[in-house]
Amino acid sequence: MLESPFTEGEVQAALMEMNGDKAPGPDGFSLFFWQRCWDFVKEEIMEMFKEFYDRNVFLKSLNNTSLVLIPKKGGVEDLGDFRPISLLGGLYKLLAKLLANRLKKVRGKVVSPNQNAFVTGRQILDVSLIANEVIDAWNKKGENGLICKLDIGKVYDSINWQFMLKVMEKMGFGSKWLRWMWWCISTAKFSVMVNGAPVGFFSSSKGLRQGDPLSPYLFVMGMEVLSVLIRRAMEGGFISGCKIQRGRGRAVHVTHLLFADDTIVFCEAKKEYLTNLSWILFWFEAASRVGQLPAVYLELPLGVPSKAVYGWDGVEEKVRRRLALWKRGSLEASAGGKYGQEDYGWRTKKVVGAFGVWVWKEILKEAGWCWENVVFKVGKGNKIRFWTDTWCGDIALSQRFSHLYILAAHRNASVEDMWDQNVGKGGWNLRFIRDFNDWEVEMVGELLQVLKGFRITWEEDSVFWKGGGNGQFRVKEAYSRLDRHLDVVFPKNKIWMERVPTKIMFFAWEATWGKILTLDRLQKRGWQLPN
């Protein structure tokens, strides 16, 4: 059943089960796209599944992953306070979902009753109820017991791949299935999303991806080793759990409960039992590579080699951040360290103070319109931005090739920075943060075709006004361009009305034009309000 050929009905059912509104991966296609376009793309999708079944591999670029860091709590200060969520490509996610559906049918046969996560018919409430029953039984008998709650840090990110495959092999999974699992977890490449853009690609050698449909089931089977070790230790008399009588039937021995990485161990409070339990955890750590040193204790590294500098990088970064905040808080101590008392720039200082209208801010409101009406002529290229200025056609390259702009290594680079004089008679040296996927190569070819007729010279860069015939700026032409866009009719009949006090009419007139400087007037009277 696990290794049977993939059918069209099975693939379609797995696709329709998935939430189409989830964020897309590096390919840019959401699951909703594949669901709506199934009739058009099903032949290509089934061809991919057939190739995977026959050759046990798929195109590696399908397994590219975008990592998004989601804060675990409010007010995060450290990278460890973020949870890395993997945004997978649509086709790989569909394949992983189908394999997870198959694995779901057999997981109950290979996972012990002590595990309650991701197993049909078991839920988290069972763990809480059983744990309370154990405590209640000890209280009624007056016995002393020990509850050990294990906190295995970063277990999802550190579990060993070879360990998981060996466990599945011992459970009876076939060689074809094991090759499938190995290809799915070992070919993944990660790119961290920074401000909405992917930065670089790197591989991994351990751990599972949060967001991969296969990950929860693979992880549960890995944790089954710990469950079996504890159970066999109890059967051999090396540890003793809690004995709960089930009516007139036989008693049940409860030694441990697992829900994903949350583990509780129940044990009699005897020294030899605790020693044996520590050995069990040591063996599990040695095999799975979870919970191993170095770790962090009291915000400082624990178990780092004495000559290893990398272990203190986190501490150094925290100190640097605190020093930066300290420096910023004490800036301009001679002026009292108050914001808004600087003497430089375009900010108005008299009367309006720090909360008034900024002159430069008002000027910049029309900056977009100005840049839309100028065009650059490349000379040396040292004053023109390659991506964001209009120098190569009617629109900026960042708008024409928005996807490539996201991948650009230096978005503020000048034209001169992107030109390489050492390539023949000179040529474009485009730099990106990662290698291109198959569907992106055509975009790069189109960009190079656009750049083909441009090259830098020894002349100075120049700016031309689009409105004039000779490229010279004229106020009259600029006014005409602005006047064409101002089709707003002034509501004079609603402002200048009879029987309305003159003060109210003038107030309405100023409000219509947005000229009421309320903050300025309040500050003249001594009020200090935030903007």
Helices (H) and strands (E) in the chain, counts: 21, 15
* DSSP symbols for 340-407: T---SSS---TTTGGGS--HHHHHHTTHHHHHHTEEEE-SS-SSSBTTTSS-SSSS-HHHHTHHHHHH
User: pLDDT at position 93, please?
Assistant: 92
Beta bridge partners of 84: 69
User: pLDDT at position 294, please?
Assistant: 52
Strands (E), 164-316: 189-194, 197-203, 242-245, 251-254, 256-259, 262-268, 295-297, 300-302
Which residues, in sequence order, are CB contacts of 268 under 8 Å at separation 6+? 143, 144, 145, 146, 239, 240, 241
Report angle CA 378, 383, 389 to the nearest 5 degrees: 70
CB 436 within 8 A of CB 458: no
Q: How far apart, in whole angstroms, are the C-alpha atoms of residue 286 and residue 304?
A: 17
Instruction: Dig out the tokens for 305 from the structure.
Output: 């080699």
Average pLDDT across each block of 10 residues of the chain; the chain has 531 residues. List them in order.
89 90 83 90 92 90 87 76 84 92 85 67 70 79 80 73 90 91 90 78 85 87 86 86 68 74 80 87 80 54 58 70 65 46 41 48 69 80 86 84 86 86 77 81 86 83 75 76 64 80 85 70 55 43
Q: How far apart, in whole angstroms, are the C-alpha atoms of residue 120 and residue 108?
A: 7
Q: How many other CB atoms are there within 10 angstroms of residue 84's CB atom?
A: 18
CB 228 within 8 A of CB 218: no
Residue 168, phi then psi, degrees to nearest 5: -65, -35
Q: How far apart, in whole angstroms, are the C-alpha atoms of residue 435 and residue 60?
A: 13
Instruction: Dig out the tokens for 312 from the structure.
Output: 């203190």
Beta bridge partners of 85: 68
In the block, which residue shows the tokens 């050698």? 205
User: pLDDT at position 179, please?
Assistant: 93
User: pLDDT at position 338, please?
Assistant: 44
Q: How far apart, in whole angstroms, are the C-alpha atoms of residue 214 and residue 161?
A: 13
* DSSP symbols for 125-146: HHHHHHHHHHHHHHHHHT--EE
Q: How far apart, in whole angstroms, are the C-alpha atoms of residue 138 and residue 420?
A: 78
Q: How far apart, in whole angstroms, are the C-alpha atoms of residue 287 and residue 223?
A: 11
User: pLDDT at position 13, please?
Assistant: 93
User: Mind spelling out the 3-state secondary structure of 209-227?
Assistant: CCCCCCHHHHHHHHHHHHH
User: pLDDT at position 349, please?
Assistant: 41
Instruction: Dig out the tokens for 424 from the structure.
Output: 């023949």
Query: What SS3 class is residue 88?
Result: strand
**Domain layout of the chain by residue ranges:** 8-292, 300-325, 353-364+491-524, 374-465
User: pLDDT at position 273, please?
Assistant: 86
Please measure the distance between the N-terminal and C-terminal CA atoms of the chain and give it in whole angstroms.
66
